[in-house]
Structure 1
Amino acid sequence: MPTVTAFKWVPPFAQGSVRDIRVRWALEEAGLGYDAHLIGFEDQATPEYRALQPFGQVPAFSDGKVEMFESGAIVLWIAQSSDALMPADDAGRAMVLTWLFAASNTIEPHVAALAIIDLFNAEADWARARRPEVEAALRKRLDELQAALGDRQWFANDLFSAADILMTHVLRDLRHTDIVADYPALAAYVARAEARPAFKRALADQMKPFRVHAPA
């Protein structure tokens, strides 16, 4: 059975955002059970964990065939053997790959840049000075993303796929702001994805240990 590493607890702002949720969601969509191996922050720098994940992050993944890290790569690995996440035809697969990398390479850097300011450096003078420019660059990309989505429900050939797992996760990392609400098609897209039973199960499973291991 696949094993996914995840944190026992993270601060509230990160709950629902830690990237093991991408892998959990993909496994749920693919109909695959898995075990979650929970680690604490104290485990991240140990030689044993660095052997699985060189950067000390989560998730690390194993399924009896492979051992992997990097959530996007793991989701892609799962998708390659699941019709629910990746179509069988070459053109369909190519479009899923295109949008999966668009989420990671074109949209996420702008989301992350804003999150770094808002969540970790909001009171710094440099952050206050930089934020308007960062938000403007992000909004330009979101304008383009909404235009590309058009009246479709999902990005790759209007079929839910692994690309939507990554894109939804990236857009959810803006939920500390009201920015996505300014893009009605993208807001509806995120809501559709979050309504999927597989996402709800993945989110619930990620959140459960956070309640159990919450600091007193």
Structure 2
Amino acid sequence: MPQKTDAPIEVTAFSWVPPFARGHVRDLRVRWALEEAGLDYRTRLISAIDRPADYYREQPFGQVPHYREGDVALFESGAIVLHIAEKDERLMPRDPVGRARAITWAVAALNSIEPGIMHLADIDLFCAGQEWARLRRPDAVRQVEGRLDRLAAALGDKPWLEERFTVGDLLMVEALRNLSPDRLAIPDVLTAYVARGEARPAFKAAMAAQMADFISDDAVQSEGVSA
């Protein structure tokens, strides 16, 4: 849905991040859920370098996204996405069994899959060359690849984790998008699974909206802020 300045839902996001992080900041998954549910929203953009002091009263860790809808205020992308999913059967099945499975996969994405992927990303992107990272990396790779193999086995030849796309798939695809095929072995079925998620019109709309909100590197530098 196009963003509307008078929309009742407000999503707080960063106005700028380095190019390598664009398309991976976690307000993307919130935008994607809103697009899947057909809900209008507006964005409040804050600096990733110099966060407003009062923002920590809304988000204790200073991260994005933050979500506000009337009196409802949420932080943590997983909690926000689950809140949005409850609004629409397209994301959260209404039958008890389907709902339980969707929630289970959503939590699995956040607890069993994403932490290992992000740990490996930290090693490769931010700690490369450090001795502890060199020693830790083989075990980190084995752990992630083991989880990916088990996930691939659970997915099998299905297009989605259950009978249809749910919030569980949204969060799982988002977690898997942080994988780098040049740094570890990714099962082909998971590569195809991520591609199906990224091909959804709602994902494309969310990605375009996030990219449109970022100001340029030149604009950041012209303000005298070092990236």
- TM-score per shorter chain, which class? over 0.9
Q: How many residues align?
A: 213
8 Å contact from structure 1 (residues 44, 57) kept in 2: no
Is 1:172 matched up with 2:177? yes
What code does the residue aligned with 1:175 have? S
User: Offset of 1:213 from its aligned partner?
Assistant: 5.7
Is 6-15 or 23-32 further displaced after alignment?
6-15
Give the match for residue 212 of structure 2. 208
Q: 1:84 aligns with which of 79, 82, 90?
A: 90
Give the match for residue 62 of structure 1. 68
User: Offset of 1:211 from its aligned partner?
Assistant: 4.5
Counterpart CA distance in 2 for 1:66 and 1:107 is: 29
8 Å contact from structure 1 (residues 5, 58) kept in 2: yes
Name stretches of at least 5 consecutive residues in structure 1 with no aligned partner. none
8 Å contact from structure 1 (residues 8, 213) kept in 2: no
What code does the residue aligned with 2:22 have? Q
Is 1:33 matched up with 2:37? no
Counterpart CA distance in 2 for 1:45 and 1:65 is: 21
User: Offset of 1:179 from its aligned partner?
Assistant: 3.6
SS at match of 2:74: strand
8 Å contact from structure 1 (residues 22, 71) kept in 2: yes
What code does the residue aligned with 1:209 have? D
Give the match for residue 147 of structure 2. 141
Counterpart CA distance in 1 for 2:90 and 2:123 is: 36
Give the match for residue 4 of structure 2. none
Give the match for residue 14 of structure 2. 7
Q: 2:78 aligns with which of 72, 85, 90?
A: 72
User: Offset of 1:16 from its aligned partner?
Assistant: 0.8
| Cα distance, 1:95–1:179 mapped onto 2, change above 3 Å | same
Name stretches of at least 5 consecutive residues in structure 2 with no aligned partner. 1-7, 222-227
When the two structures are superposed, what TM-score results if normalisation uses the length of structure 1? 0.94
Counterpart CA distance in 1 for 2:157 and 2:179 is: 22
Q: 1:193 aligns with which of 194, 197, 203?
A: 197
Instruction: State the Cα RMSD in Å.
Output: 1.5
Is 1:16 matched up with 2:20? no
What code does the residue aligned with 2:154 have? A
Q: What percentage of residue pairs aligned between the two structures are identical?
A: 53
Cα deviation, 1:53-90, whole Å, max 9, x if unaligned, reads: 11100000011141000000000000011011001100
SS at match of 1:67: strand
| Cα distance, 1:12–1:213 mapped onto 2, change above 3 Å | closer
Q: 2:167 aligns with which of 150, 162, 171?
A: 162
Counterpart CA distance in 1 for 2:176 and 2:202 is: 18
Matches within 5 A, 1:89-108: 89-108=95-114
Cα deviation, 1:78-128, whole Å, max 9, x if unaligned, reads: 001101100110000000011001101111111011011011101211111
8 Å contact from structure 2 (residues 74, 80) kept in 1: yes
Counterpart CA distance in 2 for 1:37 and 1:149 is: 37
When the two structures are superposed, what TM-score results if normalisation uses the length of structure 2? 0.89
User: Offset of 1:212 from its aligned partner?
Assistant: 4.0
SS at match of 2:61: coil
